[in-house]
A = this chain, B = another copy of it.
Amino acid sequence: MSHVRYRRLMAVDRDHVLRSAAALLTRKSTATMDEVARAAGISRATLHRQFAGRDALVRALEALGIAECEAALAAARTDEGPATDAVRRLVAEIEPHAGLLAFLYSENQLFEGEEQNEGWARIDESVATLFRRGQSSGEFRIDLTPAWLTEALYGLLASAAWAVAEGRVAPKDFTHMIVELLLGGVRRPAEPAARKES
């Protein structure tokens, strides 16, 4: 019984620590274990009891990021309706986690070789499948590979997260900025007199 109580308390704390760490590392990716602990309001010893080391912490954050991405993919129902709308929903779902994603994205570039978590491969595949679906349906152009579009989406998410964090762009525009640029590009569409497009 008390076991259960304690377990639950620890679980709650673990989640809180994880989110604090994510928020801190998003801003300062080189933060030390001591800083992470302090940011979570616990001591370094306790932090170390919950996560065997820095690697374990980062791996836990990676798992969290993967879980959030998969949740976002599921919530966005990327296989339903027009691919265009699915992309909009996906970006909107990911927006709250873009900071963590940006951290993990750059963290992955930090090491060469060193196989990455298989979860990312699944997510890459889901996103690429969405783009591929859009190409098949004729919504998307076919001269840009799904792999590149996937990478580009990550890059735009990270850029936007950093730009927002540093106050260079307004947070409220986050989803709009990314979706509009990704879908429509910067070139102004040649206005064909009047058309159904608003």
Residues of A within 8 A of B (CB): 27-30, 84, 87, 102, 106, 109-112, 131, 134, 138-145, 147-149, 151-152, 154-156, 158-160, 162-163, 168-169, 173, 177, 180-190, 192, 195, 197
Contact = CB atoms under 8 A, between A and B. Distances in A.
Nearest to A84: B187
A163 B155 CA distance: 10
B147 A163 contact: yes
Which of A106, A139, A149, A192 has the most chain B CB atoms closer than 10 A to its own CB?
A: A106
Nearest to A181: B152
B168 A147 contact: yes
State the 8 A-B residue pairs at the shortest beta-carbon distance, nearest first.
Answer: A155-B159, A185-B185, A155-B155, A184-B185, A151-B163, A141-B188, A183-B187, A151-B159
Contacts of A188: 138-142
Given A109-B106, A177-B148, A187-B84, A159 B154 contact: yes
A175 to B, nearest CB: 12
Given A148-B181, A151-B160, A180-B185, 4 more contacts: A134-B186, A141-B184, A148-B177, A182-B185
Contact of A141 (B29, B111, B187): B187
